[in-house]
Amino acid sequence: MLYSFRNREPIIGKNTYISEQAVLIGDVRIGDDCYIGPGAILRADYGAIEVGDGSAVEDGVVVHSPPDITCKIGKKVTIGHGAIVHSSAIGDSATIGMGAIISIEAQVGAETTVAEGSVVRMKQIVPPSVIVGGNPAKVIRQVTKGDKEFNDYGKAAYIDLAHEYLREGLKRVEKNP
Protein backbone atom coordinates (compact mmCIF):
# COMPACT_ATOMS: atom_id res chain seq x y z
CA MET A 1 0.00 0.00 0.00
CA LEU A 2 1.31 3.41 -0.93
CA TYR A 3 0.60 6.43 1.25
CA SER A 4 1.15 10.13 0.73
CA PHE A 5 2.33 12.14 3.76
CA ARG A 6 3.05 15.87 3.93
CA ASN A 7 2.41 16.04 0.18
CA ARG A 8 5.21 13.55 -0.48
CA GLU A 9 4.37 10.21 -2.02
CA PRO A 10 6.25 7.09 -3.07
CA ILE A 11 7.74 6.94 -6.57
CA ILE A 12 8.19 3.50 -8.08
CA GLY A 13 10.58 2.65 -10.94
CA LYS A 14 9.80 0.48 -13.91
CA ASN A 15 9.73 -3.33 -13.69
CA THR A 16 9.58 -3.09 -9.89
CA TYR A 17 7.37 -5.40 -7.85
CA ILE A 18 5.75 -4.02 -4.69
CA SER A 19 3.76 -6.56 -2.67
CA GLU A 20 0.20 -5.57 -1.83
CA GLN A 21 1.12 -6.26 1.80
CA ALA A 22 4.07 -3.85 1.77
CA VAL A 23 3.62 -0.34 3.16
CA LEU A 24 5.43 2.67 1.66
CA ILE A 25 4.84 6.02 3.36
CA GLY A 26 5.94 9.46 2.19
CA ASP A 27 9.15 10.30 0.32
CA VAL A 28 10.13 6.78 -0.75
CA ARG A 29 11.87 6.44 -4.12
CA ILE A 30 12.27 2.91 -5.47
CA GLY A 31 14.47 2.30 -8.52
CA ASP A 32 13.94 -0.01 -11.48
CA ASP A 33 13.89 -3.83 -11.29
CA CYS A 34 13.40 -3.95 -7.50
CA TYR A 35 11.55 -6.39 -5.27
CA ILE A 36 9.68 -5.15 -2.18
CA GLY A 37 8.27 -8.17 -0.31
CA PRO A 38 5.19 -8.81 1.80
CA GLY A 39 5.19 -7.07 5.17
CA ALA A 40 8.02 -4.69 4.25
CA ILE A 41 7.56 -1.21 5.70
CA LEU A 42 9.42 1.75 4.20
CA ARG A 43 8.51 4.79 6.28
CA ALA A 44 9.81 8.14 5.05
CA ASP A 45 7.68 10.50 7.10
CA TYR A 46 10.56 12.51 8.64
CA GLY A 47 13.24 12.07 5.99
CA ALA A 48 13.52 10.24 2.67
CA ILE A 49 14.34 6.72 1.50
CA GLU A 50 16.05 5.90 -1.81
CA VAL A 51 16.32 2.29 -2.99
CA GLY A 52 18.67 1.77 -5.94
CA ASP A 53 17.98 -0.26 -9.08
CA GLY A 54 17.93 -4.04 -8.74
CA SER A 55 17.61 -4.06 -4.94
CA ALA A 56 15.50 -6.47 -2.88
CA VAL A 57 13.80 -5.51 0.37
CA GLU A 58 12.59 -8.89 1.59
CA ASP A 59 9.58 -9.87 3.68
CA GLY A 60 9.11 -8.13 7.03
CA VAL A 61 11.93 -5.59 6.61
CA VAL A 62 11.49 -2.19 8.30
CA VAL A 63 13.28 0.84 6.80
CA HIS A 64 12.88 4.24 8.49
CA SER A 65 14.75 7.42 7.76
CA PRO A 66 15.80 9.70 10.60
CA PRO A 67 14.54 13.31 10.51
CA ASP A 68 15.93 15.34 7.61
CA ILE A 69 18.17 12.50 6.45
CA THR A 70 17.95 10.42 3.28
CA CYS A 71 18.44 6.72 3.88
CA LYS A 72 20.33 5.73 0.72
CA ILE A 73 20.18 2.06 -0.19
CA GLY A 74 22.46 1.43 -3.17
CA LYS A 75 22.01 -0.59 -6.34
CA LYS A 76 21.64 -4.39 -6.14
CA VAL A 77 21.41 -4.39 -2.35
CA THR A 78 19.67 -7.32 -0.66
CA ILE A 79 18.05 -6.68 2.72
CA GLY A 80 17.12 -10.02 4.28
CA HIS A 81 13.87 -11.04 5.92
CA GLY A 82 13.05 -9.20 9.13
CA ALA A 83 15.99 -6.79 9.08
CA ILE A 84 15.68 -3.27 10.50
CA VAL A 85 17.41 -0.44 8.63
CA HIS A 86 17.63 3.03 10.12
CA SER A 87 20.83 4.00 8.36
CA SER A 88 22.06 6.83 6.23
CA ALA A 89 23.83 4.70 3.61
CA ILE A 90 24.14 1.13 2.38
CA GLY A 91 26.59 0.75 -0.50
CA ASP A 92 25.98 -0.92 -3.86
CA SER A 93 25.81 -4.73 -3.86
CA ALA A 94 25.78 -4.98 -0.06
CA THR A 95 23.87 -7.79 1.61
CA ILE A 96 22.11 -7.29 4.93
CA GLY A 97 21.40 -10.65 6.58
CA MET A 98 18.07 -11.76 7.97
CA GLY A 99 17.19 -10.13 11.27
CA ALA A 100 20.17 -7.76 11.20
CA ILE A 101 19.85 -4.26 12.61
CA ILE A 102 21.47 -1.29 10.90
CA SER A 103 21.04 1.51 13.43
CA ILE A 104 20.62 5.26 13.13
CA GLU A 105 23.02 6.92 10.68
CA ALA A 106 25.18 3.80 10.33
CA GLN A 107 26.92 3.22 7.01
CA VAL A 108 27.59 -0.10 5.31
CA GLY A 109 30.19 -0.20 2.54
CA ALA A 110 29.70 -1.51 -1.00
CA GLU A 111 29.84 -5.31 -1.46
CA THR A 112 29.83 -5.82 2.31
CA THR A 113 27.80 -8.58 3.96
CA VAL A 114 26.29 -8.02 7.40
CA ALA A 115 25.70 -11.48 8.92
CA GLU A 116 22.27 -12.59 10.08
CA GLY A 117 21.20 -11.15 13.43
CA SER A 118 24.13 -8.73 13.62
CA VAL A 119 23.88 -5.18 14.95
CA VAL A 120 25.59 -2.29 13.20
CA ARG A 121 25.43 0.34 15.93
CA MET A 122 24.46 3.99 15.71
CA LYS A 123 26.84 5.98 13.46
CA GLN A 124 29.10 2.93 12.98
CA ILE A 125 30.90 2.89 9.63
CA VAL A 126 31.47 -0.55 8.09
CA PRO A 127 34.12 -0.63 5.31
CA PRO A 128 33.51 -2.03 1.81
CA SER A 129 34.06 -5.64 0.74
CA VAL A 130 34.06 -7.25 4.19
CA ILE A 131 31.88 -9.65 6.12
CA VAL A 132 30.85 -8.40 9.55
CA GLY A 133 28.99 -10.11 12.35
CA GLY A 134 28.07 -9.88 16.00
CA ASN A 135 26.82 -7.19 18.36
CA PRO A 136 28.35 -4.80 17.78
CA ALA A 137 29.23 -5.90 14.25
CA LYS A 138 32.96 -6.48 13.75
CA VAL A 139 34.94 -7.39 10.65
CA ILE A 140 35.28 -11.16 10.34
CA ARG A 141 37.10 -11.29 7.01
CA GLN A 142 37.32 -9.91 3.48
CA VAL A 143 34.69 -10.88 0.90
CA THR A 144 35.94 -13.72 -1.33
CA LYS A 145 35.26 -14.41 -5.00
CA GLY A 146 32.95 -17.23 -3.88
CA ASP A 147 31.01 -14.87 -1.58
CA LYS A 148 30.58 -12.39 -4.42
CA GLU A 149 29.37 -15.10 -6.82
CA PHE A 150 26.86 -16.40 -4.25
CA ASN A 151 25.57 -12.89 -3.51
CA ASP A 152 25.34 -12.00 -7.22
CA TYR A 153 23.28 -15.18 -7.81
CA GLY A 154 20.84 -14.20 -5.05
CA LYS A 155 20.52 -10.64 -6.32
CA ALA A 156 19.74 -11.85 -9.87
CA ALA A 157 17.18 -14.31 -8.47
CA TYR A 158 15.21 -11.47 -6.83
CA ILE A 159 15.31 -9.33 -9.97
CA ASP A 160 14.00 -12.33 -11.93
CA LEU A 161 11.34 -12.99 -9.28
CA ALA A 162 10.13 -9.37 -9.39
CA HIS A 163 9.81 -9.59 -13.19
CA GLU A 164 7.97 -12.92 -12.97
CA TYR A 165 5.53 -11.61 -10.35
CA LEU A 166 4.78 -8.63 -12.59
CA ARG A 167 4.43 -10.79 -15.70
CA GLU A 168 2.45 -13.68 -14.21
CA GLY A 169 0.69 -11.90 -11.35
CA LEU A 170 -0.34 -13.47 -8.10
CA LYS A 171 -3.76 -15.08 -7.93
CA ARG A 172 -5.60 -15.12 -4.63
CA VAL A 173 -6.71 -18.61 -3.66
CA GLU A 174 -10.04 -18.90 -1.88
CA LYS A 175 -10.16 -21.51 0.86
CA ASN A 176 -11.74 -24.74 -0.32
CA PRO A 177 -14.89 -25.75 1.61
Query: Domains of the chain: which residue ranges?
Result: 2-168
pLDDT over 90 percentage in the chain: 92
pLDDT of residue 58: 97
Q: How far apart are CA 25 and CA 4, in angstroms?
A: 6
Checking DSSP bridges between strand 107-108 and strand 130-133, what pairing results, if any? Answer: unpaired
What CATH number should be reported for the domain whose range is 2-168?
2.160.10.10
Q: Is residue 142 over pLDDT 80?
A: yes
The pLDDT mean for the chain works out to 95
pLDDT of residue 177: 64
Q: Who has greater pLDDT, 172 or 122? A: 122
**Average pLDDT over every residue of 70-81:** 97
Which ranges constitute the DSSP H helices of 37-171?
A: 145-168
Q: How far apart are CA 41 and CA 53, in angstroms?
A: 18
**Average pLDDT over every residue of 145-149:** 95
Checking DSSP bridges between strand 130-133 and strand 138-142, what pairing results, if any? Answer: antiparallel
pLDDT of residue 19: 96
Q: How far apart are CA 22 and CA 16, in angstroms?
A: 13
**Average pLDDT over every residue of 125-152:** 97
